[in-house]
Amino acid sequence: MPRKSLVTLVGLLTLAAGRLEAGTLFISDERDNTVTALDAQTLQPLKVIPVGRRPRGLVITPDYREVLVCAGDDNRIDVIDTATLTVTRKLDTGPDPETLALSPSGKTVYIANEDDSMVTLLDRATGKALGHVAVGIEPEGIAVNTDESVAVVVSESSSMAHFFDPGSLKVTANVLVDARPRVVVFTPDEKYVWVAAEIGGTVAVINAATREVEKKIAFAVPGVRKEFIQPEGIRFVKNGDVAFVALGRANHVAVVDAKTYAVKGYIQVGHRVWQLGLSPDGAKLYAVNGLTNDVSIIDVASMKVEKSVPVGRLPWGIAVKP
């Protein structure tokens, strides 16, 4: 990380520290059929919330009132009230929802139906299906831009990023990436789309306007076999200068300069690190470790793991409430 931005970041953190409130971390436990709610300050469990079978993808709504979690084996989304920590509603999604995204307005839910090579758009308020988009095999990660003019879904088995128009539900571009893409995110300025390819071992940087792959970021963790480097979750720090990339079975999180694409370092975390979360003030990075059943709490300023917090079995994703 360039020294200059590090200093800026620390400055911001100091300002924010005075008005921190206790937030909540929601972690989906795929094997336990639960969502673990942790107090973000004390890191103690607030509640283990029972949900439908095989919970994986989860998101928090823009008003922070609800967490939506995919219960893949029950073909539905469970809606958790973030105040009462109970499931208050269930939305039918069609077959095997693995992950989801929410429109920035919070009105539309985008669901990847893994077994049906399809994306389903749902009205969040009513649960009604608004439409479907046929995509490649095993769709997984989805991203939607701020004005909801462009959505991108990656298909794991077809190794593609499909751009589509949420209005017309037409696919507008199919971009080939390295093998088994799992995660897609827009950069904070929305000029680029980053796609993590698990088996290819790279992150593709796609120009959001031209839909061309401009760069493939590769990783090399000292002492780790190349085949274990499996990029998954991606998080940008707020100003967009730095990105964190979870490297799956390599058991490390990579720190990437998001402007030059240089890999600045690796942070060792738990086993098979999957998704990443960021605290609202950007001070803490949360790494969800699937095979050690814990979450690593990383101090962003120092890039050090401060603590590992146990959660349920096979933890998958994370949503953060301020």
Partner 1 sequence: MDPVVADYGLQGAQFGMQEINRSGAFLGKRYTLVTSVVTATGDVKAAAEKLLEAGDSLIIADLEGPDLLAVADLPRARTALILDARTSDDTLRQADCRGNVFHLLPNWAMRADALGQYLAHKNWKRWLLLTGATPADRAYAAAVKRAAAKDGASVVATKSYESGDGADGTSGPREQLQAQLPAVTHIPAAYDVVFVTDTSNAFGDYLLFNTWDPRLVAGTHGLTAVAWNSQFREYAARSVNYRFYQGAKRDMSERDYGNWLATAVIGEAVTRSGKLDTASIKSYLLSDQFSVPANKGEGLTFRHWDHQLRQPLLLFGPRMLVSMAPQPDTRGAQLATDALGFDQAQSECRNMH
Residues that bind partner 1 (CB under 8 A): 114-115, 117, 136-138, 155-160, 162, 171, 174, 176, 179-180, 199-200, 225, 227-228, 230, 249
Question: Cα-flanking dihedrals φ and ψ of residue 256, to 5°?
Answer: -120, 135
Distance in Å, CB of 223 to partner 1, minimum: 13
Distance in Å, CB of 95 to partner 1, minimum: 10
Q: Which residue has the tokens 């090579």?
A: 117
13-to-254, 265, 279 alpha-carbon distances in Å: 21, 21, 11
Give CA–CA dist 108/91, Å, rounded. Answer: 12
Q: Which residue has the tokens 């493939």?
A: 216
Distance in Å, CB of 195 to partner 1, minimum: 15
Distance in Å, CB of 300 to partner 1, minimum: 30
Q: Which is nearer to partner 1, 83 or 179 (CB)?
A: 179
Distance in Å, CB of 179 to partner 1, minimum: 4
Taking every pair of Cα atoms in the chain, the longest distance, rounded to a whole number of angstroms, is: 51
Distance in Å, CB of 213 to partner 1, minimum: 13
Give CA–CA dist 168/122, Å, rounded. Answer: 15
208-to-28, 97, 108, 212, 213 alpha-carbon distances in Å: 30, 26, 21, 8, 9
**At 40, which amino acid appears?**
A
Computed from CA positions of residues 247, 31, 102, 110, in that sequence, does the dihedral angle turn out positive or negative? positive
Q: Which is nearer to partner 1, 52 or 200 (CB)?
A: 200
Q: Which is nearer to partner 1, 156 or 241 (CB)?
A: 156
Q: Which is nearer to partner 1, 136 or 282 (CB)?
A: 136
Q: Which is nearer to partner 1, 87 or 273 (CB)?
A: 273
Q: Which is nearer to partner 1, 157 or 239 (CB)?
A: 157
